[in-house]
Structure 1
Amino acid sequence: MSSTTTTANTRHKRWLIFLATAFLVVGLFGGWVAIQFANGSWRLTPPSYKGMTLQSPELLPDIEMMSTTGERVSLSDYRGKVVLLFFGYTSCPDICPATLLELRTAVRELGGDSDQIQVVMVTVDPQRDDVPRLKQYVTQFDERFIGLVGTDEELIASAAQYGIFYQAHEVEGSQAGYFMDHTAAIMAFDKDGYLRLMYPFGMTGGDIAADMRYLIKE
């Protein structure tokens, strides 16, 4: 056998060894990556959320109040669902109905996945918003929406824990007698009850729905 043939065979063997080693490395790496995704160490990074994200998701104290379902419920009762929480009141002339309309749009855009979302409105005006009144109000936007009515003490505690501002102010000549100034943000909690996103007033239902598609898949 000539030296030229021997050299060619040697190169061929080295090439085969290189390919075999490369495939082995790629296979091992691919298997390791699959394991990381399987055990939750890694997650696919979705496109930027429309809402404001929290760098460190927070597990806030639970809220327990009388519900428009006719019984006392806690936010923790809805673990396993994504909860969209809003503080408002039924006599609100603008912000509350506008917000609930966008929430209705968001839920309906999700179609069959909407059963994994629960919209909750806590009234900041328990003196006027009893359970029947709040139920009539929230369900006119969507029958699946629920409202919570707390005592003054429960509302004060929850508002402080969740960073919600509210305050009554009288309006001369108004049949309502007074309006409530209040925080207009929507808070989004994941299925484990962690606060993940905040939506300022004016966020569209379409943008909220886009974010919910990611949260419900986690």
Structure 2
Amino acid sequence: MPTQLNERRGGSRASLRAKEEKAMFTKEWSVPAILTVFLLSVCGLIAYFTWSLMPPTKAAEDHIGGAFNLIDDRGQPVTAQALKGHPSLIYFGYTHCPDVCPTTLFEMAGWLKTLGPEADKLKAYFFSVDPQRDTPEVMHKYTGNFTDRIIGVTGDPTEMQKAIKDWRIYAKKVPSPDGDYTMDHTASVLLVDADGSLRGLIAYGEDKDVALQKIRNLLK
């Protein structure tokens, strides 16, 4: 009995010491540890966002794009080879777009007109992110509202989705309350060189002079 009692007491003392040590550890280390983890997390986030906002390097750009088999707005086959031998402007959108697409195509037509002969070797494409509704006929009529210089490109939904993915374009169908749908999508114009490689972007709503200078740099 005494031994068991002593063992219990010994156990109680050990338990008490453990609790005291735990409390000391919590007081001495928990706040610094939490601050350290927090600061490391903040630094990690800053590093990530800094990296993500940096313009892509040539090596990274060379991995954007890929083979595709689509059709233009006159029903003719279009492959990645169509982007070779001349610089191109590529915009991904859809004909049922209420605002961003018509605004961008209007601006593209304006750039081509302003550049005049400078843009003779430049081609402009309007790739559909909504091939279910954007037939070649629909695309041809739609692009004709802006200029005959912009070539509409559509095709099989699977092939179209592949092109969208390969060019790192965001495109998502958004159902409407009335049963219809719209498309959320990347709103930038892609600047593609004569090798068919991405060399930059023109952001939606970018200043006209800035956009024109980017195109002139692409044409050099």
| TM-score between the two structures when normalised by the length of structure 1 | 0.69
User: Which structure is larger by alpha-carbon Rg, 1 or 2?
Assistant: 2
Contact 2:89 2:190 in 1 (8 A): yes
- Written as runs of structure 1 = structure 2, the 5 A alignment for 1:89-104 is 89-104=94-109
Distance in structure 1 (CA, Å) of the matches to 2:108 and 2:127: 14
RMSD of Structure 2 on Structure 1 (CA): 1.8
Contact 2:91 2:189 in 1 (8 A): yes
Match in the other structure for 2:30: none
SS in 1 for 2:56: strand
Structure 1 position 136 matched with structure 2 position 136: no
Distance in structure 2 (CA, Å) of the matches to 1:53 and 1:106: 23
From 45, 54, 57, the counterpart of 1:55:
57
Kindly, what percent of the aligned residue pairs are identical?
A: 30
Query: Aligned-pair distance for 1:202?
Result: 1.4
Bigger Cα displacement from structure 2, 89-98 vs 163-172: 163-172
Structure 1 position 161 matched with structure 2 position 166: yes
Contact 1:86 1:186 in 2 (8 A): yes
Query: Aligned-pair distance for 1:104?
Result: 1.1
- Written as runs of structure 1 = structure 2, the 5 A alignment for 1:1-218 is 53-56=55-58, 57-58=61-62, 60-173=65-178, 177-217=180-220
Distance in structure 2 (CA, Å) of the matches to 1:161 and 1:73: 16
SS in 2 for 1:113: helix
Match in the other structure for 1:7: none
Query: Aligned-pair distance for 1:129?
Result: 0.9
Query: Aligned-pair distance for 1:147?
Result: 0.8
Q: Deviations over 1:153-185 (max 9, x none)?
A: 1122111111112121222248xx211111112
Distance in structure 2 (CA, Å) of the matches to 1:139 and 1:53: 33
How many residue pairs get aligned? The number is 164
Match in the other structure for 1:45: none
Flag as ranges the 4+ runs of structure 1 deviating above 6 A. none
Distance in structure 2 (CA, Å) of the matches to 1:112 and 1:53: 29
Distance in structure 2 (CA, Å) of the matches to 1:141 and 1:75: 24
Q: Deviations over 1:58-78 (max 9, x none)?
A: 153133311113210124224
Distance in structure 2 (CA, Å) of the matches to 1:113 and 1:87: 24
* 2:56 aligned partner, one-letter code: L
Contact 2:128 2:152 in 1 (8 A): yes
* 1:102 aligned partner, one-letter code: E
Structure scoring higher RCO (CA < 8 A, sep ≥ 6) equals: 1
Distance in structure 2 (CA, Å) of the matches to 1:204 and 1:195: 20
Q: Cα gap change, 1:194/1:125 in structure 2, threshold over 3 Å: closer, same or farther? A: same
Q: Deviations over 1:19-55 (max 9, x none)?
A: xxxxxxxxxxxxxxxxxxxxxxxxxxxxxxxxx8532
Distance in structure 1 (CA, Å) of the matches to 2:133 and 2:143: 15
SS in 2 for 1:69: coil
